[in-house]
Amino acid sequence: MRYLKITPLFIVIALISACSQPKNNKETAEITLSQQIDTHINNDEYEKALELLQTKSEEPDIATLSEKTHLNYGIYLIYNADPSTMRENANNALGQFIEVLKINPDNQKAISEIEQILSIYRSFPHRKPKDEVMEDLKELGFEI
């Protein structure tokens, strides 16, 4: 009789633990790369998104997803910056926009963001982007 009382308890515990198991790999694999990247972007996890993209270089839409990630990362850096780190964030944002233009030289949002950041730099005497950023911008045709 004692075993009959304990058996339902074990069944309930087994069912609860089975239901709480993480999704299996098949379900996880069904999430597309684009969905994974969107999730990272929505959570402001741009480094994670870029790392994921580096591991998926064989994907057909890798260029589009990379362009999107770099663009959103640059926008995040410049518009969500702590004022005390604005100069560093502006340089990093420029770097992200440069990456966008390496993928798609016609990306108007990246071009306008670069021009806006450069106009801010021009308004401060003796301020300019980092040398390596300036070189990349010059190669892309921007006047510093």
Q: CA angle at residue 37 from 33 to 41, to 5 degrees?
A: 170
Over residues 92-106, the pLDDT tens digits come to 999 999 999 999 999
pLDDT at 16: 54
- Which residues of the chain fall short of a pLDDT of 70? 1-29
Q: What is the pLDDT of residue 60?
A: 84
How many other β-carbons are positioned within 10 Å of the β-carbon of residue 21? 7
Nearest 5°: CA angle at 52, between 61 and 76? 90
Give the per-residue pLDDT at 15: 47
Residue 19: its pLDDT value, please? 52
pLDDT digits (tens, 9 = 90+) for 44-53: 999 999 999 9
pLDDT of residue 6: 54
- Counting residues of the chain whose pLDDT is more than 70, the rounded percentage is 80
- Burial pattern 82-116, b for ≥16 Cβ within 10 A else e, equals eeeeeeebbbbbbbbbbbbbbbeeebeebbebbee
Largest CA distance in the chain: 89
Between CA 99 and CA 120, with CA 89 as vertex, the angle to 5 degrees is 90
33-139: CATH topology is 1.25.40
CA distance 98 to 31: 29
